Amino acid sequence: MTQEELKTCLGQLLLDLRGNWAYGYEDRMKTALVLCSKIELDTSDIQSIISNEIEEGDYDGRCFRGCSYYQYKSDKGTTEEVKEWLKFNLSNPEYCELLD
């Protein structure tokens, strides 16, 4: 995936984490960490929040609201590959406006 595609996936995944803390939360956070490791720009704020969430075990997806890339999307990053990725990795893909 391109950098724009990765950032779009991460932004939509953070939005999904914010919306659903009950189902597969930790797995989706780990997926977000994988995306962060592939993005060339700074994602340390996201990585720090995820580390704290995992350590504390007191899950509250609202913590992602102020993160870089939260709700991120771009025309270059909205490809068919990204849409397939989102369908597979979001807990509630039906709420993702990129999939309308």
Measured distance CA(16)–CA(10) in Å, rounded: 10
What does pTM read for this prediction? 0.95
- What pLDDT sits at residue 91? 96
User: Can you tell me the distance from the alpha carbon of 43 to that of 41, in angstroms, rounded to the nearest whole number?
Assistant: 6
Residue-range definition of the domain harbouring residue 57? 3-99
Which residues does 53 contact at the CB level (< 8 Å), separation at least 6? Answer: 29, 59, 60, 63
pLDDT of residue 58: 81
Other residues' Cβ atoms within 10 Å of the Cβ of residue 81: 13
91, 11 contact by CB (below 8 A): no
Q: What is the average per-residue pLDDT within 69-85?
A: 97
Question: Mean pLDDT, the chain, as a whole number?
Answer: 95
How many distinct structural domains can be found in the chain? 1
- What is the pLDDT averaged over residues 17-23? 90
